[in-house]
Amino acid sequence: MQEKNKDLLLKELGKKRQMDQLENFPEGYTQVGDHFPEFDEFNLVSPFTKSARNLSSQIMVVAQDWSSSEGIKKIGAEEIMLGYTPSLATNLNLHTLLKKHFGVSFKDVYATNLFVFIKPGTMSARIPARLFDYSALHYTSKEIEIVSPKLVICLGSTTYARLTKVMSGKAKDWKESLTSPNKYLNSYVIGVPHTGGLGTANVGGLEKVDKIWSEVADFYKGI
């Protein structure tokens, strides 16, 4: 598909997201535009895409969720300009790993979030599985269909489990994704530890994360 057509389809999907009434969502879930209307001018599915919207990229990164009703209060001009918080460990580590193992910058890939709305509470607040699945079905899977990358890298066990649930009917373990990768249309979907502090600590530190990303890069070279 030509980039121009991808661009049109993604903008339509972004508009669809803006118009989503969040029916059957618990109270407190909101749209990004309810807090920052300026993001809606770009018709993005997620603000995370603002600095990472290479429609020809063979690599897509899917993070878990962008912000929360409390976390969004800390967002300033730089975050609005970029679509992410540059000082956050999650993003610092992600950028380093992309450059080291794939030789690309954040701007060279397509990046999005699995959950494209704003949850109530703090950034650590839990999102029900059915809401992740709703967002994955109506938005993230559509982004994958449109961009059609060779590789989709899911950050964190929840992101991988919920996306694979929507794609295959079964929530899968990211630890098995390299030996038994999930294929969705033309894309291989692989899970890695979340690049934030907790996700890194849970697998044994940055050295372990680095090794996993090296294995993902090797897999990518073979497809």
CATH of the domain at 41: 3.40.470.10
Indicate yes or no: pTM above 0.95. yes
Q: What residues have CB less than 8 Å from 127, skipping those under 6 apart?
A: 65, 115, 119
- The pLDDT of residue 39 is 87
Mean pLDDT taken over the chain: 96
Q: What is the pLDDT of residues 84-107, one digit of tens each?
A: 999 999 999 999 999 999 999 999
Domain limits for position 142: 3-221
Q: Rounded to whole angstroms, how far apart are CA atoms 28 and 37? A: 18
71-83 mean pLDDT: 93
Q: Is 205 left (phi over 0), alpha (psi -120 to 50) or beta?
A: left
How many structural domains does the chain have? Answer: 1
Q: What is the pLDDT of residues 141-192, one digit of tens each?
A: 999 999 999 999 999 999 999 999 999 999 999 999 999 999 999 999 999 9
At 180, list the tokens: 């038994």
- The pLDDT of residue 109 is 98
Q: Rounded to whole angstroms, how far apart are CA atoms 131 and 136? A: 8
Q: Which residues pair with 192 in a beta bridge?
A: 155
Q: At what angle do helices 206-221 and 89-102 cross, to 10 degrees?
A: 40
